[in-house]
Amino acid sequence: MFKSFRRPASGPPPTAARDAAAPAPAAVDATGALRLVSERASGLGREAAEVCGVIADTHRVATAQAAALQALARQLQDVVSAQAAIAGETENGLRAVAEVGEAVQAVGTEVGGIVDTLRQVSGAADQITQIALQTRLVAFNASVEAKRAGEAGRGFGVVADAVKDLAAKVEVSSKEILATVGRLDERIAALAREIQRSEGSPAGGVHRALDGVVEGVGRIHDASRRSSEVCSVLESQMAGIEGEVRLTTRSLDAALGRTENFLRISEQLIEAFTASGLETEDSPYIRAAQQAAAQVAALLEDTLAAGRTTLADLFDERYQPIAGTEPAQHMTRFSALAEQLFPQVQEAALSLSDKVVFCIAVDRNGYVACHNRRYNQPQRPGDLLWNTANSRWRRIFNDRTGLASARNERPFLLQTYRRDMGGGRFVVLKEVAAPIAVGGRHWGGLRLAFNF
């Protein structure tokens, strides 16, 4: 830091000898300054990676919330439609009950007619009884007269006795008819009272039941209408919330894009310092990644030259899923070869520093045929958390960092990112990627990740 210099208020001016004796300004240490800037850029990259990861997590949550709100809005629309259908059905029910009431009332009128008819039948039966009585009396008198006539009236007496017996039977039958009609009259009259409705008289049991049905259906209709009103308000509020969530998601998209740009700038600064020949804290890892990439390429070239594989096998992109794996694992035609060749290079790179987290060779799509031994653990069925952290081989890592490293063709690529270790645990890493070429074609990249 420079300090201001003020000439003394009095006294002679400094002489040339004095000026010559004064200390010269310190030479600026350009290398130290650049190294300091590189370190600051590295620190900024780490902070940017943290912020970028947090924004990405928030964006995922907001996206999931938006999807949930959309699903809820659709379900709410279904509820509104169902409520409208219920309202329509209850209106139909009310009309149907009214029609039933009218039909019952008509039946009641018909029953009243039946009662009148039965009373007419009863009157006719009564008349038959009277006629039967009179017939019996006439037959009795005829029988008496026949006896008086002696032998000449005997045949007439037989007829008179028969008529008397018949009249007695008719009388008995007519009395039974009267009794039956009387019982029917009482029952039908009671039924008529139950199903007929008239002003000034209490409603019968059937109409009371129908009135109860009408009241119940009416309550259902009113509740459906109120529910529809509430659902309409909720639907409007949901639309507003959904719009706000979409706006938040777009804002997070923009923030994530800017943060990723900021992260890329910090990475480019570090790359520029390293490419200029300045020795930085990342330089040993860059050289190690380039050396390991060259070794993997040489191993593949030697195997290709020996006829142990073909270019078609090495560049196989038909990733075959392994059944029952979670996260999903895949096999290719070069997987077995990679498991034979890559460990000697990948494991040796781990000894560079205790900061090295992993060293893996991936094809241009981010497929990891063989990870470091500690991450080549067989999966445990149903244990996603453990598998995510410990079984990282035969998997495709096609996220932003993974694809960028796999498809980089520059001498090296330096990235900073958060690594998902499963169970909501993340670590911020730096990663150097160097390209791997086989048979004059870009095969993939060597990824060397290390801690800050």
Q: Which two tokens stand for residue 190?
A: 């009671």
Contacts 24+ apart (CB under 8 A), 294-300: 294/434, 295/345, 296/341, 296/342, 296/345, 296/361, 296/436, 296/446, 297/436, 297/437, 297/438, 297/443, 299/341, 299/342, 299/345, 300/341, 300/436, 300/438, 300/443
pLDDT the model gives residue 6: 37
CATH 3.30.365 for the 49-227 domain, yes or no: no
Specify the 3-state DSSP secondary structure of 178: helix
Give the residue with greater pLDDT, 232 vs 13.
232
Confidence at residue 201, expressed as pLDDT on a 0 to 100 scale: 58
pLDDT of 334 > 80? The answer is yes
366: left (phi over 0), alpha (psi -120 to 50) or beta: left
Q: Which amino acid is at 94?
A: L
**Which one is the CATH code of 281-450: 3.30.450, 1.25.40, 1.10.3470, 1.20.1300?**
3.30.450
Q: Which run of H or E residues covers position 396? A: strand 395-396
Token code pair at residue 228: 């529809």
Residue 279 corresponds to which tokens in the numbers above? 């020795």
Which pair of tokens denotes residue 24?
């010269």
Find which of 191-205, 225-239, 319-333 is predicted with most confidence, using mean pLDDT.
319-333
Which pLDDT score, from 0 to 100, does residue 4 have? 35
* Cβ(439)–Cβ(315) below 8 Å: no
pLDDT tier at 348, thresholds 50, 70, 90: very high
End-to-end CA distance of the chain: 29
| CA gap 128, 122 in Å, rounded | 10
Other beta carbons within 10 angstroms of residue 412's beta carbon come to: 22
Domain residue ranges in the chain: 49-227, 281-450
Kindly report the average pLDDT of the chain as a whole number. Answer: 78
- Predicted confidence (pLDDT) per residue in 64-117, tens digit: 767 776 776 777 677 777 767 777 777 777 787 777 767 766 776 666 677 677
Identify the pLDDT of residue 358. 97
Instruction: Tell me how crowded residue 41 is: count the other CB atoms within 10 A of its CB.
Output: 22
**pLDDT at site 179:** 81
Summarised one tens digit per residue, pLDDT across range 10-40 is 444 444 444 444 444 443 465 665 566 656 5
Give the phi and the psi of residue 280 in degrees, each rounded to 5: -115, 175
Residue 89 is inside which H or E element, if any?
A: helix 30-149
Mean pLDDT of 333-356: 97
Q: What digits encode the pLDDT tens for the residues 235-286?
A: 777 677 777 777 777 766 776 666 666 566 766 766 776 676 778 889 999 9
Q: Model confidence over 142-158: pLDDT tens digits?
A: 777 777 777 766 776 77
- Rounded to 10°, the helix 30-149/205-275 angle is 170
Q: Say yes or no: do domains 49-227 and 281-450 share a fold.
A: no
Q: How many angstroms separate the CA atoms of 273 and 414, rounded?
A: 12
Q: Which run of H or of E encompasses 293?
A: helix 283-305
Higher pLDDT, 218 or 440: 440
Query: 176: which 2 tokens?
Result: 């039974």
Q: How far is it, in rounded angstroms, from Cα 371 to Cα 358?
A: 8
Please tell me the predicted confidence (pLDDT) of residue 151.
Answer: 76
